[in-house]
Each structure stands twice: as structure tokens, then as C-alpha cells.
Amino acid sequence: MCNKVLGIGLESSCDETAAAIVADGRKIVSHAIFSQIKLHQEYFGVVPEIASRAHLEVINDCIDHCMKQASISFNSISYVAATCRPGLVGSLLIALQSAKAISYALSIPLIGVHHLEAHLYAPFLEGYGIEFPFIGLLVSGGNTALYLVHDFGKFELLGNTTDDAVGEAFDKVAKFLSLGYPGGPIIETLAQQATVKKQLFPKILADSSESYSFSYSGIKTAVIQYIHEHPDADIAEIAYSFQERALEILARRLFEASRRLKISTLVIAGGVASNKRLREIIFEKKKEYHKIFIPSPILCTDNGAMVAGIGYQYFKKGMFSPLTIDVKARA
């Protein structure tokens, strides 16, 4: 690792505890992710109190695993980055307080990271040469938003959901259909089994010349109403139709923004970006001039590598955070 700038990134914004060591903001040296899915399955969603307690129990093991996997000492670390917003406050505190302790003990810079910007950085970790500006579509269980990214640390919100996030909608529909949790992978698998692929539900929102907003309350209600009216309906067909509508608006808003802003570089990130059907829809709609970047599934989920990676860009610019930095639930 001679002449490499090594940084450690910590993530605990929701229900994954993660740490990673990244060299020069691009090469993942080691990483660890502890998932809490089994802890939350019986509740069909993330329970904040359970999540924060679980983060506290494993964060040190997560860090130790990374250090041993990288075969380095803490003295080799040049900076520590941690997610500080947005997310569950009790969960965010675990990674940030751990990062503060490392920063103080080693006298190295602390960098508080915006969780959504970290997700949009994920493709950079796979060697892609992504040019600015680009449009970033962030899709996950807690967030659904469209960003115009000018540079590292310079991004503006174009539009977000007015109610549920897309991943949250998948979870709620799966719960109503008694399919289990998390709903995304279950509905995706079930949709592939549909023998009759037709639209049962209306299009989500109209095309807009002014707004890039998203909404999932309507489609969720439509699914519930359809089940009540058709109790013997094929669940696979319902899953297919719901997924098509839920994903179509993501691609539609993405390409609307691309066309109006005349920006051809597009980044899709976040947990829902691992959905194979979403990737298919996006590549079906793309034009020859579009440059599409979607990280591998392991980097779509919450992870420490994306935090360490974007942290490096702040480190290079000398943009450090004080030890008094606090967490924020909202972006």
C-alpha cells in the first residue's frame, strides 16, 4: 500500500452495519457488511430501536474484520469517513460516534458523508470514468430522488417522492400480499413467474414539463383495491403489473431530465438499482448517446466502500468535519 492514501468508511444509516478500507478513493482494499434482515423480518420493516442496538453490537467487529482483511494497522489510515445524514438518527449515531473516536485517537481528519451522495459515488469504485455533470437516480427503501451532480460535493435535488420511496412501496405491497420481507427481491422473483403479462394498474403520475416528482401511494392503493375486488387473482400477475408500474416512472423521470437538461451521462444507484427488471427497462429506453452507469449489486446496498470513496474526494479538498458534527434524519 506504499504511497496509497487509505481511508476507512463507516455506514449505519439504516439496517446494514458496514465498514470498508479504500485506497485513493477507488480501490476497495477490504470491506464488511453485517445485514439485519433477519432481525426485522417478523415486523415487515425496519424497527429503529432494534436497528440501532444491532449496529452497536457489531460495529467494532466490522471494523476489526476490515483491518485484519487489509493486513494493516490503524497508523496506515489517513482519514475516517462516516455517514451522518440522512437516515435513522439512532442508527446514524453508531457509525459517526465510532468515526469520531477513531479520528480523535489517531489525530486524523473526520469526514461526515451525505448518504445519498455516497450511493451515487459507488460506480466510481468500479473503475468507470464518469464525467460531470451527470444525472443521478437514487432508488432505495428509504429514498427515491433525482439529482443533478455538478462535481463531488456539488449536487442539487431535481425531484423526489411525495410519499413512499420505491423500495418502501415494494415492502408494503409484499406485506399486504403476505409474501415476506424484504419485498423487493420477492416481488422481482414472483413477477418473473407471471404467465400473463398485462397491465392491471394505472400509470403512475403523468408526464410533466415542470416536475420530476415520484409517488407510490396511488399504486399501492390500486393493488389493495384490486385484491379486494379479485380475491382469486394470480399473485404473480399482480407482482408483475405492480413492478412494471413502480419501475417505469423511475426510468421515465430519468430520461425526461436527461432530455430537458441535455445531459447524457446517467448514474443509477441505491438498493433498488440491483433490480434486474429496472436495469432492463433503462437499457430498453436509452438512446445511443446515453452513458449509463449502475454499480454491481453488492455496491447497490448500503456499504462502507462508497462512504470511504466519497470521503477521499473531500479529503483531497481539505473539507473536514469538526468533532462536534451531528447526525440529521433528513437530507
Q: Average pLDDT in the 63-82 region?
A: 97
Split at pLDDT 50, 70, 90, the class of 2 is low
Q: Where are the alpha helices (DSSP H) in the chain?
A: 37-40, 48-70, 89-106, 115-121, 166-176, 183-191, 217-229, 235-261, 276-285, 297-300, 304-316
Convert the pLDDT of each residue in 261-299 to its tens digit. Answer: 999 999 999 999 999 999 999 999 999 999 999 999 999
Q: What is the pLDDT of residues 233-265, one digit of tens each?
A: 999 999 999 999 999 999 999 999 999 999 999
Contact present, 277 and 166 (Cβ < 8 Å): no
Strands 16-23 and 154-160 turn out to be: unpaired
Predicted local confidence at residue 52, as pLDDT: 98
What is the DSSP code string of 235-303? Answer: HHHHHHHHHHHHHHHHHHHHHHHHHHHT--EEEEESGGGG-HHHHHHHHHH--TT-EEE---HHHHS--
In one-letter notation, the amino acid at residue 100 is K
Task: State residue 208's pLDDT score.
Answer: 66
Residue 121 confidence class, pLDDT cut points 50, 70, 90: very high
The model carries a pTM of: 0.95
What pLDDT was estimated at residue 209?
A: 62
Q: CA-to-CA distance for 266 and 251, rounded, in angstroms?
A: 11
Q: All domains of the chain, ordered by start, with CATH? A: 6-122+300-316 (3.30.420.40), 132-297 (3.30.420.40)
Is the model's pLDDT at 21 over the cut of 80? yes
Dist CA 93 CA 85 (whole Å): 10
Q: How far apart are CA 309 and CA 5, in angstroms?
A: 11
Residues 214 and 145: their CA atoms lie apart, in Å, by: 8
Strand-strand pairing, 265-269 and 134-139: parallel
Cα first-last separation, the chain: 35
- What average pLDDT does range 290-314 have in this prediction? 97
